[in-house]
Structures are given as structure tokens and as C-alpha cells.
Amino acid sequence: MLPPDDVRTRGEPPIGTVITLVRHGEARCNVDGVIGGAAGCAGLTDQGRAQAAALGRHRERHGEWDGAVLLTSALPRARDTGRLVMGRDDLDALARFNELEPGEADGWTLDDYRVRVVSPDWSADPDAVFAPGGESWRGFATRVVDALTWTAETFGAQRVVIFTHGGVIEQAIRAVTREDAAVRLRLRTDHCSVTEIEWGAQRRLLRYNERAI
């Protein structure tokens, strides 16, 4: 017998879209200190491929995500992760799930970035852009919410698995916890970790940062 609704800590089973967010494995741009937009992303390192393969073995053992809708960001590190985890090449790649858009800084080293632009202080001004032509923190937050809403409206009460990025996962958690779009949670989301949310009439965090290794 369950406790009364008003004092129960465990929620009801999901009724909306269950969205599983998988952070990519360790990327070449992470290791090389390169800003990894469409131009700067060079895919996974050997370690990143090993992380993705381990998650893939875990998925096979437990039958996770069989029959799920499979999507990735359009960036190579996420696409490579999805292919290795799922063992297939036909995942739909959508830029709406990309990491924060770096604009003109795409492909720069972090040292170049520090010299060439004034880094925004998003705690003070969440509308400042990362670099000319890039996104602001608040703009990124809006894009991620729009992407998750599109996912729910498109796929309904299905499980959707999205291979994506740490920033996207942070924005998703910020949104389900109803924090303001200007808030930065500064989460430490591990490579190839699994986070799950419910998105619909109710928004809930179902699990965060689970790892196969």
C-alpha cells in the first residue's frame, strides 16, 4: 500500500516522452583543447571509443533501448558514440541537439580564444554570446527546451535516446527542475554517462550520470 499522495516521495510512472540523454565519449577536441563545433570536432579519442564500446556491451546485456527512437547531435563525437553504442549507422543526426554554438571561435584552441575574445561572464550576463556569431547561455537554454519539446511532440509517449553533449544535458536538467534559463548548474557529467528525463505535461528527472564503467 502506498502512502498518501501529499507525502509520497516516489512519483508515478512516466506518462510523457521518456528521453534518454547519452553524453558522447571522450573527444579529440576535449583532449587537444580545441573548441569543437562543426569545424573543430574531430570525433572520439581511443579512450572515447572504448567508453562507447563499454556502454554498447552494457546495452546489449540488458536489452536497453530496443525499439527506441535513436537520434544524435550532428557533431562527429556524438555521431561516433551513437554508432558504437548501438552498433548501427542509421541514427538521425540533428543540429538541434548540438553543444552550445561557438560561432567564429569554432576550431580555435582555447589559448587562441582567451587572446582573441573577451570571455563572457554568464553569471552576470547570460545574454552575452560565446563569440561573434555564437550562442549566449540563455539562447542555448531556449534552443534545448525547444529541441526537447519538439522531441515530445514528434514522438509522443515513446522512449527516445539522444547521443548529445554535457551542455545539452545540463540545460535539460535545468529545465525539468524549473530553474531560470540564466541559471548555470555547473554539473560534472561524465563521458558516456546516461541521464533520463520525462518531458510532457509533467517534467521530471528520472536518472542522472549513470555509467557502464
Which amino acid is located at 167 in the chain?
Answer: G
Phi then psi dihedrals of residue 140, to 5 deg = -60, -45
Pick from 9, 60, 2, 22: nearest CA to 195: 22
pTM above 0.85, yes or no: yes
By the 8 A CB rule, do 84 and 16 touch?
no
For residue 34, give every residue at least 6 positions away whose Cβ sits within 8 Å of its Cβ, in sequence order, or none: 28, 40, 42, 107, 108, 109, 110
Q: Which of 30, 73, 80, 33 is nearest to 52 (CA)?
A: 80
In the chain, count H helices and then E strands.
Answer: 6, 6
* Ordered domains of the chain (ranges, CATH): 17-210 (3.40.50.1240)
In single-letter form, the type of residue at position 192 comes to C
Predicted confidence at residue 7, as pLDDT, reads: 67
Cell triple for 78:
556524438
DSSP 122: T
List, in sequence order, the alpha helices (H) in the chain.
28-32, 46-62, 76-86, 110-116, 137-155, 166-176
The tens place of each residue's pLDDT in the chain, 213 residues long, gives: 566 666 666 677 888 899 999 999 999 999 999 999 999 999 999 999 999 999 999 999 998 899 999 999 999 999 999 999 999 999 999 999 999 999 999 999 999 999 999 999 999 999 999 999 999 999 999 999 999 999 999 999 899 999 999 999 999 999 999 999 999 999 999 999 999 999 998 999 999 999 976
How many angstroms separate the CA atoms of 51 and 60, rounded?
A: 14
Nearest-CA neighbor of 37 among 77, 70, 79, 71?
77
pLDDT, residue 1, reads 59
Strand, helix or coil for residue 37:
coil
Asked if 143 and 135 count as a contact pair (C-beta separation under 8 A), the reply is yes
Cβ(137)–Cβ(143) below 8 Å: no
